[in-house]
Chains A and B, each alone.
Chain A
Amino acid sequence: MIAPLHPNSVTTMAAVIAVLIVATVVTWILGRVRPGTKLEEIRKRVRSWWVIVGIFFVALALNRTASLVFFGLVSFLALKEYLSLIPTRRADRRVLLLAYLSIPVQYIWVGIDWYGMFIIFIPVYMLLVLPARMVLIGETEGFLRSAGTLHWGLMMTVFSVSHVAFLLALPESVNPFGGAAQVLFLVLLTEFNDVAQFLWGKSLGRRRVVPTVSPNKTWGGLLGGVGTTVALGTALAPWLTPFSRAEAMGAAALIGISGFVGDVVISAVKRDLGIKDSGNMLPGHGGILDRIDSLTYTAPLFFHYARYLHG
């Protein structure tokens, strides 16, 4: 069954594809004029964007089930990447499998619209169940580290990300243009904010925000990025969200600032593990965690902002 998208969502998707076409053409022309290795990275990045956007839009356009499967897969890949990077204990293999199994269950709560269960399943029940399973195995060495890192990963990759999916299930007062419109607004602004902060940081700003975690992040980049995101968010909000002008500015600022925090939190994790990229699934971007780092912060915050104001 195909649930038709609101025309505003379709237009937004078309605009994103137009931007990708422009990016592809520009990098292709630049590659012709001035071949270089640095450009090759950007071209790879644009190619990966095509794949991400292609699959995301098709899933969103099909129906809610396809969208839930898509976000469940994103959670699965992110959790798998996380568990492959952190030190895990051999004794915990069954516990890890249990953690993986919580992914379909969490998205089923979204699918059947059970908000109460959705919001406590991982923070409460998985928090209690995973260490209980570990106790049954009986290995106490490294117990706390293992229980802590596993649950933190589950919160970031499954609980947080599933909030994007639950936007689809919110009532019409929050979603006047359909759930897909809110999802587009959140994901588009989050990713746009990443790019805007990167570009602003390149062109201005010297004072670093968190020098020991991410030396490339400057105050100029952060403020310029948030400013641009607020401008785009304010322009897009009447198309995709129920927000008034002031609410839209607040939502976009929330996405801009928390997106930055999500980015540097994952940076700190990577620095702790001594790695540069979380993986190489997405050429030019790194791993899946490198791509959804900011979304792990923006998704739950934006969700509760929208739900509190209009739910």
Chain B
Amino acid sequence: MRAFVQHAFFWLVVRPIVTIVIGLNVRHRERLPPDGPAIVVANHNSHLDTLVLMTLFPPSRLSRLRPVAAADYFLRSRALAAFALSVMHIIPIHRGGAGRGDPLAGADCALGNGDILILFPEGTRGEPERLAAFKSGVAHLAKRHPTVPVVPIYLHGLGKALPKGSSLLVPFFCDVFIGDAVRVGDDLQAGEHFDHKAFTALLADRMTALESEGGFAPWS
């Protein structure tokens, strides 16, 4: 049932909006992880970000895609929670460490099942079209799953199309630049000597490099 609703929603609503109203310019598509387990991290400017990232994958992977999303925001009403949990298939996460027990347990479990996680390490949509500092959650997940590739994706333009605080969608072409995966085993020391800060810094570096590939002017 979930699969049917999910596919119907993506074919009838999401894909038409993403391809006609928005239109994507995707660079380095071959760097997308072909299958899970994998972690996709992106900068966050708009509610469209998650939908766009989900359309990058073939429809057969749709049920494997798990956006990690803030529980305080997406579970705030019953209708929104039903949509977020069953159609978007999110993994709710409690921001600010206020939750009970391990905040990453859901994400951990999904990676164990071979799912593809979608994460926004900036933690919030923030200022449109501007990169913010990364939080350390991805580093903790990467430490626990050293063989799982962490693929950075830079999104540009979606914050112009549908910024935080607006419900008015204005058409713009958007850029999606996919970066090289960070693998703990290859790029950093795993296990006891794993350095959270070094991992987060490496990921942020790759994201900045992707951003400079576009040479975009700031939006004011």
Contact = CB atoms under 8 A, between A and B. Distances in A.
A74 to B, nearest CB: 13
A281 to B, nearest CB: 7
Interface string B16-41: 00000001010000000000000000
Nearest to B171: A80
Contact of B173 (A89, A93, A96, A279): A279
A76 B170 CA distance: 12
Interface string A62-94: 000000000000001100110110011110011
B168 A80 contact: no
A100 to B, nearest CB: 6
B128 interface: yes
A93 B168 contact: yes
Contacts of A96: 170
Contact of B160 (A88, A274, A280): A88
Contact of A84 (B168, B172, B215, B220): B172
A77 B172 CA distance: 9
Contacts of B215: 274
Contact of B168 (A97, A280, A281): A97
Interface string B112-151: 0000000000000000100000000000000000000000
Given A80-B173, A84-B157, A84-B173, A90 B128 contact: yes
Interface residues of B, number: 17
A274 B170 CA distance: 24
Contacts of A77: 23
Contacts of A90: 128, 160, 163, 219-220
A88 to B, nearest CB: 7
Contacts of A81: 173
A94 B174 CA distance: 18
Q: DSSP majority for the B interface?
A: loop
Interface string A260-296: 0000000000000010000111000000000000000
Given A87-B217, A88-B160, A279-B25, A97 B172 contact: no
Contacts of B212: none
Report, as a range, how many residues of chain A touch the other chain: 10 to 19
Contacts of A97: 168, 170
Contacts of B157: 84
Nearest to A94: B168
B56 to A, nearest CB: 16
Contacts of B166: 93
Given A90-B128, A93-B166, A280-B25, A80 B219 contact: no
Interface in B167-220: 168, 170-174, 215, 217, 219-220
Contacts of B219: 87-88, 90
Contacts of A94: 168
A97 B157 CA distance: 15
Contacts of B171: 76, 80, 83, 100
A77 B171 CA distance: 10
A80 B25 CA distance: 13
Given A279-B25, A281-B23, A80 B172 contact: yes
B29 to A, nearest CB: 12
A303 B171 CA distance: 30
Interface of A: 76-77, 80-81, 83-84, 87-90, 93-94, 96-97, 100, 274, 279-281
24 contacts: A76-B171, A77-B23, A80-B171, A80-B172, A81-B173, A83-B172, A84-B157, A88-B160, A89-B220, A90-B160, A90-B163, A90-B219, A93-B160, A93-B163, A93-B166, A94-B168, A97-B168, A97-B170, A100-B170, A100-B171, A274-B215, A279-B25, A279-B173, A281-B23
